[in-house]
Amino acid sequence: MAALTEEQSMIRDQAKSWTTEKSPVDKFREMRDKEIANNYFPETWSAMVEMGWTGIIIPEQYGGSDLGFLTFGVVLEETGRQLTASPLFASALVGASAILLGGNEAQKQAILPGIVDGSKILTLALEEGPRHAPQNTALKAESNGDGFTLSGTKTFVAEGMSATTFVVAARTSGEAGDSDGISLFLVDADAKGLGRNAIKTVDSRGYANLIFEAVDVSADAMLGGVDVGLPILDAILDRARAGLSAEMLGTAAQSFDMTLEYLKTREQFGQVIGSFQALGHRAAGLFGQMELARSCSEAALQAIDDDQDVEQMTSLSKCRVGEFLFDMSNQLIQIHGGIGMTDEFDAGLYLKRARTLETAFGNRSFHRDRYATLAGF
All structural domains of the chain = 6-120 (1.10.540.10), 123-226 (2.40.110.10), 231-374 (1.20.140.10)
pLDDT of residue 343: 87
Partnered with residue 182 across adjacent β-strands are: 171, 228
Instruction: Report pTM.
Output: 0.95
Q: What pLDDT does 274 receive?
A: 66
C-alpha R_g of the chain:
21
pLDDT (0 to 100) of residue 262: 80
- Distance, in Å, from the CA atom of 257 to the CA atom of 283, rounded to the nearest integer, reads 10
Per-residue pLDDT of the chain (377 residues; tens, 9 = 90+): 457 899 999 999 999 999 999 999 999 999 999 999 999 999 999 999 999 999 999 999 999 999 999 999 999 999 999 999 999 999 999 999 999 999 999 999 999 999 999 999 999 999 999 999 999 999 999 999 899 999 999 999 999 999 999 999 999 999 999 989 999 999 999 999 999 999 999 999 999 999 999 999 999 999 999 999 999 999 999 999 999 999 999 999 999 999 999 888 776 777 877 667 788 888 899 999 999 999 999 999 999 999 999 999 999 999 999 999 999 999 999 888 878 888 888 999 999 999 999 999 999 999 999 999 999 98
Task: Find the helix or strand (DSSP H, E) in which 303 lies.
Answer: helix 277-306
pLDDT number for residue 365: 97
The CA-atom distances, in angstroms, between 341 and each of 30, 255, 290, 346 are 19, 14, 23, 9
d(CA 214, CA 107): 23
Q: How many CB atoms lie within 10 A of CB 219?
A: 13
| The pLDDT value given to residue 53 | 98
Neighbours of 352 (CB within 10 A): 18
End-to-end CA distance of the chain: 30
Please tell me the predicted confidence (pLDDT) of residue 340.
82
One-letter amino acid of 250: G
Q: What are the E-state strand segments in the chain?
A: 122-125, 140-143, 147-158, 165-171, 182-188, 194-199, 207-218, 222-223, 267-268, 271-272
* pLDDT given at position 1: 46
Asked if residue 368 lies in contact with residue 319, where contact means CB atoms within 8 angstroms, the answer is yes
Question: Which residues, 6 or more positions from 231, have their beta carbon under 8 angstroms from its beta carbon?
Answer: none
How many other β-carbons are positioned within 10 Å of the β-carbon of residue 87? 29
The pLDDT of residue 275 is 67
